[in-house]
Amino acid sequence: PLANRYGALRFALFFGATGLAAVALFFALHPLEQTPLVGASGAISGMMGAAARYGFRVDRSSGHAAFAGAPLPIGAVLRSRGVMTFLGVWMVINLVTGLVGFAPGIDGQIAWEAHIGGFVAGFFGVRVFDRRDRTP
């Protein structure tokens, strides 16, 4: 739904921007790290942050996600039980997998800080890339 709403170019730019924010936060917290970051999970987390700003509304006639209208203001997000539940569960999962590990015996680390950086960038950057001139 975000790609349909934003269009291909804006979506690609938004995806890239949240990915860069993810990398930026990771390296700000680990300035001496030399291990490369691999994957798109930071940018995908950015898309999840953006989706949260639409409040997970559903078009009752079709049963599909409704990304109609402007993104919710921060105050409305903070009052939405569904969005706040999602945010809490998402943060806990990222913190647990980051601090405890994904699974015992598996080598490699999860750059959970990058997930948080991407999510925050998507959550707060959604209005920059949203098409204000039309509704989907």
Measured in degrees and rounded to the nearest 5, phi and psi for residue 33 equal -65, 135
What are the structural domain ranges in the chain?
A: 2-129
SS3 39: coil
At residue 33, what is the residue type? E
Predicted TM-score (pTM) of the model is 0.84
pLDDT in tens, 11-53: 999 999 999 999 999 999 999 988 888 889 999 999 999 989 9
Q: Are 71 and 127 in contact (CB under 8 A)?
A: yes
At residue 25, what is the residue type? L
